Amino acid sequence: MTGALDSGATGAARLEVEDLSLSFGGLKALRGVSFSAEPGSITALIGPNGAGKTSMFNCISGFYKPQKGSVRFDGRDVTRMHPPERAALGFARTFQNIALFRGMTVLDNIKLGRHAHMKTGLLQALAYWGPAQREEMELRAEVERRIIDFLEIDHIRNMPVAALSYGLQKRVELARALAMRPRILLLDEPVAGMNREETEDMARFILDVKEEWGTTILMVEHDMGMVMDISDHVVVLNFGEVIARGLPHEVQADPHVTEAYLGSGDPAALMARLKGETGTTGNSGAPTDDRREDVA
């Protein structure tokens, strides 16, 4: 790699989330969540809809400011940092609903990933002079060699993003995240809405990233097959709390997880929990079900 990282450090980072709580008004999205993502491993964050996975992601990437708790990046507290500062540290993320810049080509989208690590100033840019040109050329060479080849998107590099299929757009988003020189990669539902083949491709690319780049990866995903296949560590959230964690097969066998996804099969227990929920949070969509039963 050319040039030095802004933070002065390279390689995979350890991410620790400690006792994180986030609420929107009366709605408690996260309640004292703690977990960690180990350097160079794939950690999956799973849970039913509304469990707080995306809220968690937004806290980690700096969109939401949690009321309590901390996010630590290699031991450094980043809880109050703005997204651009986190980007300079080595946070990179992809979005659940693709967030590419539709008016630009694939190449420009990927190059944008490097923004925080580049130095060209305004006047140099207007003149496209010495250092500015050199920096652009270094970037282009590196993007071509390390990212475009790696993710097999060389045939579409000059196409506008808006013209690509969904699966390819997701791949370009991963490419852009890789261009950020990530020390931790946050993937928000990397295979949502993909067909089997695209999912397999993406799973392979994620594993390749882990092996060749050695980046720490934290992902939110609903595709259990893929989560169980490629994760090293799984954290299960439900109603804003961690209900289980461990190796994929341990989590799979955990009765709490089965209950969270499928229910316990015991109506009395469900009713008891719903009463508790409405008392403390007034959340969860479950009371709606309750009413529906009344109507029926």
Partner 1 sequence: MKIGTAKHSYQADEALLTTRPQRLWMGLFALGLCIAPFMLDNYWLYLACLVAINVASATGLNILTGYTGLVSLGQAAFMAVGAYTVGWMQLRLGTPFLLNIVAGGIVAAAVGLLVGLPSLRVKGLYLAIATIAASIILHFVFVNWQSVTNGNSGLTLTPATFLGTPLTDYKQLYFVFVPITALMVLGAANLFRTRVGRAFIAIRDRDISAEVLGISLLRYKLTSFAISSFYAGVAGGMWAYFFRVVTPESFPFVYSIFFLAAIIVGGMGTILGAILGAVFMTLVPELLRFGIDWLTPVLPNAAAMLSPVRTIVFGLLIVGFLIFEPKGLAEIVQRTRRYFHLWPFKK
Q: Contact positions toward partner 1, by CB under 8 A?
A: 61, 63, 82-85, 87-88, 91, 93, 95, 99-104, 108, 111-118, 120-122, 124-128, 132-133, 136-137, 140-141, 144, 176, 180
**Which of 120/278 has CB closer to partner 1?**
120
Shortest distance (Å) from residue 12 CB to partner 1: 19
Q: What is the 3-state secondary structure (H, E, C) of 120-184?
A: CCHHHHHHCCHHHHHHHHHHHHHHHHHHHCCCCCHHHCCCEHHHCCHHHHHHHHHHHHHHCCCCE
Shortest distance (Å) from residue 87 CB to partner 1: 3
**Which of 103/193 has CB closer to partner 1?**
103
* C-beta separation of 43 from 37 below 8 A: yes
What type of residue is 193? G
In angstroms, what CA-CA distances link 245 with 161, 187, 217, 225, 270?
A: 37, 19, 16, 17, 23
**Which of 18/108 has CB closer to partner 1?**
108
Shortest distance (Å) from residue 185 CB to partner 1: 12
Shortest distance (Å) from residue 149 CB to partner 1: 14
Shortest distance (Å) from residue 178 CB to partner 1: 12
**Which of 53/93 has CB closer to partner 1?**
93
**Which of 177/227 has CB closer to partner 1?**
177
Nearest CA-CA partner of 216 in 184, 239, 259, 187: 184
The string of DSSP letters for 31-42 reads EEEEEEE-TT-E
